[in-house]
Amino acid sequence: MKSAEEQLSTYKSVHLNPKNIKTHFVGIPLIIWSLFLLLNLIPVTFFALDTPAISINVASVFAIGVLLYYIKLHARLALGLALFIIPVLYTSSLVAQVQGALWIALAVFVIGWVFQLIGHQYEKAKPAFIDDLNQLLIGPFFLMAEVYFLLGLEKELDKQITPMAVDKRRALEDERRAARL
């Protein structure tokens, strides 16, 4: 598994433009919320002999799995993500009970991606997940890191990933130029 620094620098390499980052602060939470809403619509029921059935939803299972992954990457950032995901889980579970929840989820998902695509127009770089699907999980992790940096936290992490991201971006641009020749 790649380190938090490696994952964040790869993601940041195509998220250096402040306008792009701002659109991601809108788009990524919308996409996450819509995905949790969709996952809340999928019940999972466990049956055991002589006990009542236990029913959960896929959103809860997914949240636990993703948070464990984030903890393994960087425990302090994972704490911030847990504080973000808990209200997302709760509100999306409430909306999942509303008639038309599927359409709400799809509409919010599309709106979130519109913000993402607008941001990448500013950046003039393709989204990170195009080359590495794991980067879809790193988007929220990156935003939480950016929040920590804005609050003056995890300064050492910022000092590590930013130069790595700039170097990766230069290498990508050099490859693009070479391909045009």
| pLDDT digit string, tens, across residues 108-145 | 999 999 999 999 888 877 777 777 677 889 999 999 99
On whether the CB atoms of residues 128 and 10 are closer than 8 A, the answer is yes
Neighbours of 67 (CB within 10 A): 16
Inside any domain, residue 113? yes
- pTM for this one? 0.87
Host domain of residue 91? 4-176
Inside any domain, residue 34? yes
Inside any domain, residue 120? yes
Inside any domain, residue 169? yes
On whether the CB atoms of residues 140 and 134 are closer than 8 A, the answer is no
Q: Which pLDDT band holds residue 53 (cuts at 50, 70, 90)?
A: low
Is the pLDDT reported for residue 106 higher than 90? Answer: yes
According to the model, what pLDDT value does residue 100 have?
Answer: 96
Inside any domain, residue 49? yes
Inside any domain, residue 125? yes
Per-residue b or e along 114-125, where b marks 16 or more CB atoms closer than 10 Å to that residue's CB? ebbeebbeebeb
Number of folded domains that form the chain: 1
Inside any domain, residue 181? no
Give the single-character DSSP code of 99: T
According to the model, what pLDDT value does residue 163 have?
Answer: 92
Inside any domain, residue 48? yes
